[in-house]
Amino acid sequence: MKILALETSCDETAAAVVENGRRVMSNVIASQVAKHMVYGGVVPEIASRCHVEAVCEVTQEALKRAELTFSDLDALAVTYTPGLIGALLVGVNYAKGLSLSIGLPLIPVHHLRSHIAACYITHKNLEPPFLALVVSGGHSHIVGVDSYTDFKVLGRTRDDAAGEVMDKAARALGLPYPGGLNLDIQSKRGDAGAYSFPRPRVEDSELDFSFSGLKTFVVNLIHNASERGERIDTADLGASFINAVTDCLVENTFLAASLTGQKRIVLAGGVSANSVLRKKMQLRSEEMGYEIYMPELSLCGDNAAMVAAQAYYEFISGNVADLSLNASASMPIDKLN
Ligand code: KG4
Ligand code: ZN
């Protein structure tokens, strides 16, 4: 079954064709990074406009690279939630138009589910059940994945997402957008013990995260140092900050694993590209004798191949949209439209 999927939830316009959820036939991404860089972050209105400009061409390119035409496809899929509402609407409306005009079923896909599905492409034998740590710019979730379409949120951030605080720290340090990636690169030669950061815990819910205190801590630290004319070592501070954020992520994930008895762990979402997080998850899994699965780096960020991968399993479980499908800025991963 060949599915053409579209992804426009944030700042990448992406289209891909994937066969049977696992074999990528094409994966095209038109990045808007250069457009948002001057503003230091994603500007939603600009993102929507760029999606409108790129979506047709990116779709055509995905078909071309797969050496297919619309008539070779079995279904269409689109990310409909969560994300920037204006950006999502471009993909959803374009996909609905395509579905109507070429007469193919349209599969609605939840963005965080698709991040998890990126691992199905990288690891052909991976099957649920497993435990997933899904960390992106807007979400930090520990999810029990009982089947391809059954999810249970076991822990989540009470305030900011891990990617969001990485971006904030990068910005406070004067690093260019995209912050999380640049912070990771700049911190590689830093000393992770140079600055001391707290490891916040949520009192009444041991699997939840809270990153807003860490964000305030790092911003104040940088501000106070600059007021006093003290020099901040970007690499050391970045490494120490990443060390703290990733400690929280890893600790709660492995606590969830021990509480649920799940020994198969998946890391997903844009922050899964972080080199320290990958290393820590790998090491801890080896120590515990657990299996660890992460997407290859090219599938960590937003892309449409992961959407097509999840769409295959959504289709099998009967999740097909009609033309009343609407985009939604937020939607829990464990609920269907
Ligand atoms: O999944 P994603 O590409 O978009 C959303 O769905 O939000 O995740 C984007 C987030 C951003 O906050 C970005 O800074 C972060 O992922 N990110 C990283 C790295 N690469 C991307 N954070 C830390 N280290 C990285 N190497
Ligand atoms: Zn994402």
Please write the tens of the pLDDT for every residue from 71-110.
Answer: 999 999 999 999 999 999 999 999 999 999 999 999 999 9
| Neighbour-count burial for 93-106, b at 16+ CB within 10 Å, e otherwise | bbbbebbeeeebeb
Q: What is the CA(224)–ligand 2 centre distance, in A?
A: 33
Q: Which residues contact 33 (CB under 8 A, 6 or more apart)?
A: 11, 177, 178
d(C-alpha 47, C-alpha 30), whole Å: 11
Mean pLDDT throughout 234-260? 98
Residue 321's pLDDT band, with cuts at 50, 70 and 90, is: very high
Number of residues written out for the chain: 337
Residue ranges of domains in the chain, CATH in brackets: 2-116+299-316 (3.30.420.40), 127-295 (3.30.420.40)
Contact 326, 80 (CB under 8 A): yes
Neighbours of 31 (CB within 10 A): 16
Per-residue pLDDT at 164 exceeds 50: yes
Q: Note the pLDDT of residue 136.
A: 97
Reply yes or no on whether the pLDDT at 64 is more than 90: yes
Residue 253 has pLDDT above 50, yes or no: yes
Determine the average pLDDT of the residues in 20-44.
96
This prediction's pTM: 0.97
Q: Supply the pLDDT for residue 335.
A: 78
Measuring CA to CA, which residue among 112, 117, 5 is closest to residue 55?
5
Ligand 1 atom with the smallest distance to the CA of 111 is 6
Structure tokens at 156: 């989540």
| Res 119 pLDDT > 80 | yes
Name all residues whose Cβ lies below 6 A of ligand 1. Answer: 10, 136-138, 163-164, 166-167, 178-181, 184, 269-271, 273-274, 301-302
Query: Which residue from 31, 36, 140, 181 has its CB within 8 A of the most atoms of ligand 1, so it is best to mutate?
Result: 181
Residue 308 has pLDDT above 70, yes or no: yes
Q: What is the pLDDT of residue 108?
A: 98
Cα 113 to ligand 2 centroid, rounded to whole Å: 10
- On the question of pLDDT at 309 being above 70, the answer is yes
Residue 337, pLDDT above cutoff 50: no
Please give the share of the chain, as a percent, with pLDDT higher than 90: 98
Partners of 3 in the beta sheet?
A: 18, 75
Atom of ligand 1 nearest to the CA of 9: 6
